[in-house]
């Protein structure tokens, strides 16, 4: 197994301990992982506070910060990954990087540009079912658009889990769903070449 170079983006809560723990789990599996702090040291206790800060900073600025962090490593062929807001950022970067090796989305997706085009980019999405931020209609449309763009997409749904169910420090935490997610995600990363 060859370890992947993974750029892992945090959620709207900021760079919380759960993100660092996820990175450590990925490193223990042989991958190199970067966890950029797009919120410049700020973390939040509620999704509302995090969303307020995200809106204050602005989507364009957050994307700029993400691009500047990933750019020095993109020649290596990155796997972009992220939690919720971080997943939407990871998706945007992966679809714009022709050297991207994969895309691992945890709890989130993003709009897809109509002209987006990738060459069989491996994509794996893990999301709660139901999820107030990722409705069934949205996910169906997203899946079709990703396929149309040329991505090779797998979607895993976790019935009864909360939105950000992989974070043990949040009320959404669901240990069984989180462990299942990591098992499948680690297998996905191992399958990339």
Q: What is the mean pLDDT of residues 16-38?
A: 97
Global pTM reads: 0.97
Strand-by-strand arrangement of the 122-129 sheet? 32-34, 5-9, 78-83, 102-106, 122-129, 152-159
In the structure encoding, which two tokens stand for residue 31, read together? Answer: 């991958």
For residue 31, is pLDDT > 60? yes
Q: What is the mean pLDDT of residues 165-181?
A: 97
In the prediction, which pLDDT does 128 show?
A: 98
Query: pLDDT band at residue 103, thresholds of 50, 70 and 90?
Result: very high
In the prediction, which pLDDT does 1 show?
A: 55
When the pLDDT of each residue in the chain is averaged and rounded to a whole number, the result is 96
Detail the DSSP E strand segments found in the chain: 5-9, 32-34, 78-83, 102-106, 122-129, 152-159
């Amino acid at each position: 197994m060859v370890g992947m170079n993974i750029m892992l983006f945090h959620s709207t809560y900021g760079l919380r301990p759960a993100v660092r723990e996820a990175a450590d789990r990925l490193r223990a599996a042989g991958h190199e992982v970067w966890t950029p702090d797009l919120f410049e040291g700020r973390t939040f206790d509620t999704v509302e506070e995090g969303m307020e800060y995200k809106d204050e900073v602005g989507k364009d600025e957050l994307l700029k910060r993400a691009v500047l962090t990933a750019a020095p490593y993109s020649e290596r062929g990155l796997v972009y990954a992220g939690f919720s807001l971080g997943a939407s950022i990871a998706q945007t970067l992966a679809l714009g990087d022709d050297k991207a090796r994969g895309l691992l989305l945890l709890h989130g997706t993003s709009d897809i540009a109509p002209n987006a085009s990738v060459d069989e980019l491996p994509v794996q999405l893990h999301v709660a079912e139901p999820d107030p931020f990722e409705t069934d209609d949205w996910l169906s449309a997203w899946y079709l658009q990703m396929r149309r763009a040329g991505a090779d997409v797998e979607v895993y749904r976790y019935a009864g889990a909360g939105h950000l169910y992989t974070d043990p420090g949040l009320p959404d935490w669901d240990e069984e769903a989180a462990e299942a997610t990591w098992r499948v995600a680690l297998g996905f990363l191992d399958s990339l070449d």
